Amino acid sequence: MHVILPLAIGLVALLYASVGHAGATGYIAVMTLLGTPAAVIRPTALVLNVVVATIASVQFIQAGHFRPRLFWPLALASVPCAFIGGTLTLPTAAFEAVLGGVLLASSARMLIDARRPAADALVATEPLPVGRPPIAWAAIGGIIGLLAGLTGVGGGVFLTPALVALGAAPVKTIAAVTAPFILVNSLAGLGGGLLAGRPFPAAGLPMITAAVLGGAIGSHCGAFRLPPRTLRLLMAAVLAFASVKLLGRPLGL
């Protein structure tokens, strides 16, 4: 387990960073499958998120895909909501139910994308207009921020599908906006947890190192040698298994 966990963390970071995500749902799935205590999962996932999202943000911004006018309304509304969400502690059964639902939704999204190879390509098309007033993006950011702080993820798993569905921007721009969005919300979620009296997690040097290496490789390359469809199907299977494990506990499964 001491070797498996860092290796799994590094692989998750590599896969997620390539599309502007930081990997919280993947870290949560891995830690859940390996029996990590529920109280440790959320803050540890956020710490790893900060590491990988920082690296991914730098890479995508340097590549010239970042669009401030889309990012700022989302971020400014989401940060206080993520902070509030981070202060909340759900009962164990409720936390596992919410977390299981998040993982199941993530799995379903990946399965949908796996059936549409074009969605995996991250090739920018003609820029689409942002097309909605800042207050609309702020409302979306606030809702996603609250969910991010509550569940211990940076919000990318909610934000990317929303932006894609709304046709907010080309996929590379969405990735470039998602990475710093995850960063600021992960920091806010950690801050809320500290305010609520939860100890700062000791992720450990092996896990941090694995996240740094995986995040650097994934965000720099932006693509993989293996077919994106296969990667998404494998990750979807892991997330689905973890969600079933969480959701099945109240039923004794």
* Domain assignments of the chain as residue spans, ordered by start: 4-251
**Other beta carbons within 10 Å of 159:** 27
Mean pLDDT of 67-81: 92
Percentage of the residues of the chain whose pLDDT score is greater than 90: 21
Predicted local distance difference test score (pLDDT) of residue 226: 53
CA distance linking residue 12 with residue 2, whole number of Å: 16
Q: Characterise 118 by phi-psi region: left (phi > 0), alpha (psi -120 to 50), beta (else).
A: alpha
Q: Which residue from 248, 242, 245, 244 is spatially nearest to 30, judged by alpha carbons?
A: 242
**Other beta carbons within 10 Å of 152:** 28
Structure tokens at 119: 């969605």
Predicted local distance difference test score (pLDDT) of residue 213: 96
pTM > 0.85: no
The residue that leads in pLDDT, 235 or 207, is 207
Q: What is the largest CA-CA distance in the chain?
A: 51
Amino acid identity, position 178? T
If you average pLDDT over every residue of the chain, what do you get? 78
Which segment of 6-20, 55-69, 198-212, 227-241 scores lowest on mean pLDDT? 227-241
Band of residue 182 on the pLDDT scale cut at 50, 70, 90? very high
